[in-house]
Every structure is written in structure tokens, then in C-alpha cells.
Amino acid sequence: MANTIEYKGYIGSIEYSPEDTCFFGKLEMIDDLVTFESDNAKELEENFHDAVDEYLESCKVLGREPQKVYKGVFNVRIEPELHRKVYQEALKAGVSLNSFVRDALFNEVRD
């Protein structure tokens, strides 16, 4: 089970600090630093929701789009032998390497 929470399409990480005896987290997958914390789970969730809402409101006030968009391009480092095998399977299927990998990812991460 991942230590994450989700609200309005945003994902927050959740960690625990034994030194401070509190839970804390940040909005993931954006460049801006948006954090939240609490000493109990219920309040942590409320603070996360507040952090997302405040982030969206800040973006509105500043006249900028909130970050959530991905370009759809990323590099994956794999072993050369796996690269060869994947490319071979793509050739057999009659599709590009990109299409083969996209389809494999889609099949693995269905909604």
C-alpha cells in the first residue's frame, strides 16, 4: 500500500516523523512546493484538501495554470537484452517500439 492521498486529481505523499511525532506530506508531480502536516490522520486529510484548494486559488490569483499536465514523453532505462526482446516483439506485432510500449503500459495501468 502506497503512502499517498488523492484529491481533485492531485496526489500527496504521506510520511511520519518520529522526532516531531507528526505526519507530513507534499503535493507530488508538480514543480511548486506545497506541503501539509498534522498529528492525526483525519486532520492530515483535511490539511491536504486545504493545501490543494489553496494551491489552486494561488494559481488563480497569480493568473497561471496549475501544474498537472504531462508532455507524454519519458525515457526508460532497461537492460540491452530486454530492449532487444521488446523491439523484436514490436516487429513481430507490426508496430513501432513506442506503440508496443505504450500498449503494454496501457494494459498494465487501466483505470
pLDDT tens digit sequence for 84-100: 999 999 999 999 999 99
Cβ neighbour number for residue 25 with a 10 Å cutoff: 23
Shared domain check, 84 and 58 = no
pLDDT average, residue stretch 58-72: 87
Shared domain check, 78 and 57 = no
Number of folded domains in the chain? 2
The confidence score (pLDDT) of residue 68 equals 78
Strand, coil or helix: 5:
strand
List C-alpha distances in Å: 49 to 8, 15, 109. 9, 16, 25
pTM of the model: 0.68
Provide the residue range defining the domain that includes 38: 4-62
* CA–CA separation, 41 and 18 (whole Å): 15
The confidence score (pLDDT) of residue 69 equals 60
Shared domain check, 53 and 13 = yes
Shared domain check, 42 and 74 = no
Shared domain check, 85 and 45 = no
Shared domain check, 80 and 56 = no
The chain-wide mean pLDDT, for the chain, equals: 92
What is the percent of the chain with per-residue pLDDT over 70, rounded to a whole number? 97
pLDDT in tens, 35-62: 999 999 999 999 999 999 999 999 999 9
